[in-house]
Structure formats: structure tokens, C-alpha cells
Amino acid sequence: KNQVEQSPQSLIILEGKNCTLQCNYTVSPFSNLRWYKQDTGRGPVSLTIMTFSENTKSNGRYTATLDADTKQSSLHITASQLSDSASYICVVGLTGGGNKLTFGTGTQLKVEL
């Protein structure tokens, strides 16, 4: 069964600190992996997209890594800000037929003063 598991489920950090969110997947055949940020009451916003051949991609203070061999990805947030408080969702895209996107249930991040 294609699955995407994220950890931790929730996380609280102090403003200015760094943090790393994890995503493990069993999806096959793999096409791409995406990280989205979803603020409360809003739709998800794309942070990064990585294909099989990419192992790191940055978007400002967000850096995603991908290890296609171990089927793991991480999202590192540097120098966190209060506005980083949101849910971070890992999404894996498949090639071939059937349901093309598999979503993780997200990590709820809260940044405090």
C-alpha cells in the first residue's frame, strides 16, 4: 500500500531556532516529492518539488532533502519565524496509472516567542 508518513506529528519551537521535519514514503513507482505549507484556514502553498534525480532544493529559509534509496525526505527550517507556524505536508507523486498523489497527514509546527 502506498503510504507517506510524517514525523513528528506536532512540534513547538522558539523563534529563531532551526527545526527538521521528516517524511518517509513507501510510494512506488516514485515520480516526485513535494512539500507544502498550509496556514490555518488556507489552502496549501508549494514550498519545494524534487524529482528522483534531485537530492536537495531550497526556497529561502526552507531546505528540502531527498534520499530516494531510503525513501526519506526532510524539510529543514532555518531561523524560524512566528509566520512559520503552520501545517507542513509531504506529498509524493507517482508515475503510471491510478491515484497519482499520496499525501502525508502533516506536521503541525508552532513557533513561539
Partner 1 sequence: KAGVTQTPRYLIKTRGQQVTLSCSPISGHRSVSWYQQTPGQGLQFLFEYFSETQRNKGNFPGRFSGRQFSNSRSEMNVSTLELGDSALYLCASSPRLITTGANVLTFGAGSRLTVL
How far from 40 is each of 23, 27, 47, 55, 91, CA to CA, in Å? 21, 27, 16, 29, 18
11 contributes a contact to partner 1 by CB under 8 A: no
User: Shortest gap between Cβ of 66 and partner 1 (angstroms)?
Assistant: 12
Binding to partner 1 by CB under 8 A, coded x per residue (else -) over 20-59, reads -----------xx-x-x----xxxxxx--xxx--------
User: Shortest gap between Cβ of 102 and partner 1 (angstroms)?
Assistant: 8
100 contributes a contact to partner 1 by CB under 8 A: yes
Which helix (H) or strand (E) segment is 100 a member of? Answer: none
Other beta carbons less than 10 A from residue 19's beta carbon = 19
Place of cell 510510494: 27
- Binding interface with partner 1 (CB under 8 A): 31-32, 34, 36, 41-46, 49-51, 89, 91, 93-95, 98-101, 103-106
